[in-house]
Amino acid sequence: MDFESAGKRTRYIVDKYDFYFKKRFGQNFLIDDRVLDKIIDASAVGKEDTVLEIGPGIGTLTERLLKKAKRVIAVEIDRDLSGILKETLSEYDNLVLINEDIMKVDMAELSREYNEGRPFKIIANLPYYITTPIIMGIFESGAPVKDMTVMVQKEVAERMEALPGSKDYGALSLAVYYYAKPYLAARVPRNCFMPRPNVDSAVIKLTVYDERPVDVKDERLMFSIIRAVFNQRRKTMINSISGSKDLSFTKDEIKEVLRKAGFNEDIRGEKLTLSEFAKISDILSQ
Ligand code: SAM
């Protein structure tokens, strides 16, 4: 069925199937056509792409993706929605619908089964209660993903693309920079969703690097240092690293490392770039 607008489509389906929204699954459906167009444009999806959509919901974005992409694999946790999607999107033969928790899905396996082992584009209006675990899980597992164009809470998008020294800069910004190039594609007010959430949102595109932008000997050590520094961002690096439960360096050792790396003793982590953290981590790992 063709609908005049995403809002009308959503209302029709919610009423027809007597669907009730489940807060625990972060169900806020996008009802603004211009925002849907912006997501599609930012993703640059085309007929050669296989898309992995996380949380298709009532299928508004899914239907647009089905018209643009070669294939859409949609993973939805809510069994009620899976049933609705099966019926409402039955005319499309390029949809693979999987009723599962995305955190339990093996993306490498999905890519072998449905995309000849090649990387997906991820396009999604993410459930906000697990945005960071989903994105970091994809990065850290090395899942076959080309890029992700995702709707996230506005504050999370701002942290992802924050620059050194700004108030939003932190462990999430550095983790994103290590794996991908961020681009904030749109800011989205809360009235573009049904039901209306308590926060504003933003669409961010993360293009995964083929090669990491910095070389670091011990990735885990670098991220432990980063976490220690930003868990206590008001402290000097010497105090935050030496005080961390996950690390076992003395103040004198850190002082010596900072000297070797060319930093002052009273430096704080807030202004350091990813390559400076890599440099400190490499000297500490020796
Ligand atoms: N894509 C739809 C849209 O734009 O209107 C719905 C987006 S809504 C913010 C998030 C969707 O993710 C919901 O449909 C929810 O049921 C689903 N979801 C929540 N947790 C999930 C999980 N762990 N795995 C897969 N889907 C999940």
Domains and CATH numbers, the chain: 6-208 (3.40.50.150), 219-285 (1.10.8.100)
CA nearest ligand 1 atom 21, residue: 77
Q: Which atom of ligand 1 is nearest to the CA of 128?
A: 9
Pick from 27, 38, 122 the residue to mutate for probing ligand 1's pocket: most ligand atoms within 8 Å of its CB.
Answer: 27
Does residue 150 have its Cβ closer than 6 Å to ligand 1? no
Q: At what angle do helices 219-231 and 171-179 cross, to 10 degrees?
A: 150
pTM exceeding the 0.75 threshold for the entire prediction: yes
Between the CA of 4 and the centroid of ligand 1 the distance, in Å, is: 23
Q: Compute, in angstroms, the gap from residue 228 CA to the centroid of ligand 1.
A: 32
Reduced 3-state DSSP string for 12-79: HHHHHCCCCCCHHHCCCEECCHHHHHHHHHHHCCCCCCEEEEECCCCCHHHHHHHHHCCEEEEEECCH
Cβ pair 177, 216 in contact under 8 A: no
Residue from 53, 125, 152 whose mutation best tests the ligand 1 pocket (most atoms within 8 A of CB): 125
Is the minimum distance from the CB of 63 to ligand 1 under 6 angstroms? Answer: no
Give, for all 286 residues of the chain, the pLDDT tens digit: 778 999 999 999 999 999 999 999 999 999 999 999 999 999 999 999 999 999 999 999 999 999 999 999 999 999 999 999 999 999 999 999 999 999 999 999 999 999 999 999 999 999 999 999 999 999 999 999 999 999 999 999 999 999 999 999 999 999 999 999 999 999 999 999 999 999 999 999 999 999 999 999 999 999 999 999 999 888 999 999 999 999 999 999 999 999 999 999 999 888 899 999 999 999 999 8
